[in-house]
A and B are shown apart, each in its own frame.
Chain A
Amino acid sequence: MAEERIDVKKTYKMYIGGDFPRSESGRTYKALDSDGNLLANACQGSRKDFRDAVKIARGAFGGWSSRSAYNRGQILYRIAEMLEDRRDQFMKELGPIGFKTAEAEADINAAIDRCIYYAGWTDKYQQVFGSINPVASSHFNFSMLEPTGVVAAFAPEKSPLLGLVSVIAPIIAGGNTCVVLASEKYPLPAISFAEVLNSSDVPGGVVNILTGFREELAEHFSTHMDVNAMCYTDNLPQEMKKLIDENASLNVKRIVKHPVEDWYDEEVQSPYFVTDFQETKTTWHPVGF
């Protein structure tokens, strides 16, 4: 007689430098479904986890930003392919946290399409937003976009997959690397998305995903001197916004806030989300004979 089989459950860990470590603090918190039942324990990332992730993201920046734009596009496209392949996994994860079947399907479809959208932009935004400028001397004058560096982001709270993908894709499309804090309440799809990234030719360290509490990490996200930009799309409490803005002044961190209500809206995908994380370099070059 066959014995009753015990399920093998997945341990949800964080994603740092292409690995899946637990929090160095050893802390976890409970990830619940929409009825308040325990789904799994998620890691409660600490400031040291964040520090480690930034260090790794900085290390990955040189390689990622010097990839050809075309290759970054290929890799974003590959993320879409892998996401398509793991549809069932995300269906299973979105269901218990309040997505009806049709909603979950639409969410996954939109997430895949968003990757494709930004895959297309990788080798085009430079052409559209770079310029040759008229100057009154015998010089060529070019303005070109360059990635700003390491971006720290709060992924949206209520859209644990589509919202997350929509935040990450434009950041990495432009050659930046990032450290992203997953939705606090629904962290699990973000970790499954990390598995997608890990099998999509995205070099380790380009995207790092932490799980944990904004309240705890906001200070460190905003004060870290080696973070060049920070981004969030939720309407944060006034106090936290103020804290972030003030701390960002330490190293003149760029703060990008895009309040988004509806992640299906056409308005939330735009090449301007790529240029949000770019610096403009203007070069003067003497005209030759």
Chain B
Amino acid sequence: MKYPDFNQTISIDEVGVEERVSRLNKRSIKKDSKVQALKLALSMIDHTTLEGSDSPGKVIQLCKKARQPHPAIPDLPTVAAVCVYPRMVSVAKKELKGSGIHVASVATAFPSGQAPLSQRLDDTKFAVNEGADEIDMVISRGAFLNGEFQLVFDEIAAVKEACGDAHLKVILETGELHTYENVRKASDIAMHAGADFIKTSTGKVSPAATQPVTLVMLEAIRDHYYETGKMIGMKPAGGIRTAKQAIQYLVLVKETLGAAWLNKDYFRFGASSLTNDLLMQIVKQQTGHYQSLNYFSND
């Protein structure tokens, strides 16, 4: 297969991207369409906990919430996956057995990626052996910014190989890439190197996911699809806390990639507090009353 020359830069119209995002944000999604969008967004969540303080207890609680987001409404969709550190994969796997919910694990010395490649690969293999269905890796941003694009490409390819059957999401950490051109380039490298998903951020760096960055990545996915016929998924992560934001993201996806991407196989939200806000909005739509977090379980 022939790869593009990554030293070439595809220029991005910054003003154009931001204008388009702000225009799409003005879409008004109401009533039935809104309920549908809220439930769709709920089904696309990678329900996440990535804290130093994570314990099996906390992960079990998270998994319970993933299986049944709000007991008062039993027919809600479950979230798409639970996303944890490698050490917690086996706990989550056991807890989610039979639910169809995937276990995703961050790996490759998340969030910095600053470990020797061999260790990052071991990290990945460990998570896969523990039962992870999806691996969220980080790229070497230092190397990328240094212009070592081939190295970044090779590392992603190596991790992909270590993943085996597990799906690979590649975190670009766009908050450290400085320009939209870099975001576009990193997206292209990741997709050509074997990513199944490209993902904006670790959630540990500010800014995390933004809509303009997401649009740039979505357009990269679209161009990649035209070029190769391969559909790559997209996962914005970090900073998406409200149902309103989530619906705005869905509009971006629909307008850029079309309905084929509007499902959990091709689009995910990496989030923790988004779940409850979606639930509150769903209940609001059902009852007509604004809700309080007091009546929704934590995590």
Binding site for B on A (CB under 8 A): 51, 54, 220, 223-226, 250-251
Contacts and interface: CB of A to CB of B under 8 A. Distances in A.
A225 B288 contact: no
* Residue from A226, A250, A251 with most neighbouring chain B CB atoms (10 Å): A226
B172 to A, nearest CB: 32
A151 to B, nearest CB: 14
Nearest to B289: A223
B294 interface: yes
6 contacts: A54-B290, A225-B290, A225-B294, A225-B295, A226-B290, A251-B292
Interface string B260-299: 0000000000000000000000000000111111110000
Contact of B294 (A51, A226, A250): A226
B288 A226 contact: no
B298 to A, nearest CB: 16
A250 B291 CA distance: 11
Secondary structure call for the B interface: loop
Contacts of B293: 226
Nearest to B283: A225
Contacts of A251: 292, 295
A217 to B, nearest CB: 12
A251 B291 CA distance: 10
A51 B292 CA distance: 11
A260 B292 CA distance: 31
Nearest to A224: B290
B73 to A, nearest CB: 15
B294 A223 contact: no
A243 B289 CA distance: 14
Nearest to B293: A226
Contacts of B290: 51, 54, 220, 223-226
Cβ-closest 6 pairs across A and B: A226-B292, A225-B292, A223-B289, A224-B290, A225-B291, A51-B290
Contacts of B294: 225-226
Contacts of A54: 290
B243 to A, nearest CB: 13
Given A51-B290, A224-B292, 8 more contacts: A220-B290, A223-B289, A223-B290, A225-B292, A225-B295, A226-B292, A250-B289, A251-B295
A51 B288 CA distance: 12
A220 B289 CA distance: 7
